Amino acid sequence: MRLDWAIPCTAVTVDQAIVTAIENGCFDVISVTGVPCPIEFVALCRFAGLPSDFAEDADRSVEAYLLGPAMGQVVELSFELPSGEPDSTHPEGWEMNAVIPIIVQFTAEAEGAYGLDFYIGGKYQKASFTFRILVGGPPQA
């Protein structure tokens, strides 16, 4: 099991298990008027693995840690991915996947770099992402 990708965005629309819209996707700066400031965003994640990784008795635990400036932990999230089995049309040997929107809420206490790190079964996932909290608006070119 692995985190295939993670996209920071402000909202996601899902219709019958299909993502039909992603709003403000792939941001890397959140501009605020001042700190402290409440922040909320969605991390849209695609987890992939073999059918055995999604079995009822498999370890499907995920932990996510939002780190703030100076790598201080701001928020800890933990959840279990849904179990499932491939249907009759699933090609033998192909991976299964689950696309999960995760709501991240925190209070930004300081301007600077933040990062959302993911771990599956205790292993760091390379699809983690970073962003910056900027007081006063976007930088001028």
| Residue 138 pLDDT grade (very low, low, confident, very high; cuts 50, 70, 90) | low
Cβ-proximal residues to 118 (8 Å cutoff; 6+ apart), any chain: 3, 6, 45, 62, 63, 64, 124, 125, 127, 128
| Residue 14 pLDDT grade (very low, low, confident, very high; cuts 50, 70, 90) | confident
Number of domains in the chain: 1
The pLDDT tens digits of the residues spanning 109-127 come to: 999 999 999 999 899 999 9
pLDDT in the model for residue 140: 47
Domain of residue 101 covers 2-135
Q: 141 lies in a domain?
A: no
pLDDT in the model for residue 2: 96
CATH number of the CATH domain containing 57: 2.60.40.2550
- Which amino acid makes up residue 108? A
The pLDDT tens digits of the residues spanning 43-73 come to: 999 999 999 999 999 999 999 999 999 889 9
Of the two residues 137 and 102, the one the predictor is more confident about is 102
